[in-house]
Copies of this chain bind each other. A is one copy, B any other.
Amino acid sequence: MDIATIVGLILGMIMVVGSIIVGKGDLMAFVSPSSFILVIGGSFSSVLISFPMSEVKKIMSITLKVILNKQKDVLVIINQLVSLAESARRDGLLALEGRLEEIEEPFLALGIRMAVDGMSAEIVDAIMRTEMEAIEFRHEVGKQFYDAFGKYAPAYGMLGTVVGLVIMLAHMDPETIGPGMAMCLITTFYGAIAANVFCLPFVDKLVYYNSREILSMEIMVRGVIAIQAGENPRVVKQKLMTFIPPKLRPEEEEQA
């Protein structure tokens, strides 16, 4: 659960709604289902054209998975890798087969299973990195999705405003010109909110989570290769710990 996202979304909505109330505006004047449909539906249409259907279908699950899943603790991963290295060193690589079910991380389980199956280090490395790239590619598509949505939403907002202006100007009526203009601006309002409160911040967060995920997968790849090579668990630990800045390391490591 990402607290910052939840707090930010709620805070952002409070700010916008609050500014309307404080400005003595009528909240209902900002509700316009047709404007909402044009901006959100239109942006979604453009995004549909931009990506293949197979990718669009995954967006929701990628978004939820990346935002809701708790961040992996890199130290826990390193400790598990060191423990696996000890088993492998003591009882041989095949002994890891018995420990496969205790590995929660599917990516790590994949690597260990390949090592147990006796595939060459080169192939294990290539397959794990292909999987890494596939995961990175899925995140990249999620990022591009929100990037595109954040680009099209203000564009459709502007389009809606132009449509509204044309309709209003065609039957120009001094008495209704004020409310008419107000109505025109609602699509711009929706477009700006969709882009600045939702899409663009989502892009940044997806990029951040992706970089963390890639780091933890890099550690797993290095760990599996080291385990397969039968390296000393102490050396494995020292190697993997170089991925963690000194300040974040547990005390005993520095005394090692």
Contact = CB atoms under 8 A, between A and B. Distances in A.
A172 B51 CA distance: 44
Interface string A152-193: 100110111011111101111000011101100110110011
A154 B162 CA distance: 13
Interface string A12-52: 10011011101111100110001101100110111111111
A245 B130 contact: yes
A196 B165 contact: no
Contact of A52 (B71, B164, B170): B71
A144 B204 contact: yes
A26 B163 CA distance: 11
B178 A170 contact: yes
A175 to B, nearest CB: 9
User: Of residues A30, A123, A170, which shows the largest number of chain B Cβ atoms within 10 Å of its Cβ?
Assistant: A170
22 contacts: A4-B48, A9-B49, A12-B46, A15-B45, A16-B38, A18-B34, A19-B37, A19-B38, A22-B34, A23-B163, A23-B164, A48-B201, A49-B201, A49-B202, A52-B205, A52-B208, A123-B242, A155-B192, A155-B196, A159-B192, A159-B196, A166-B182
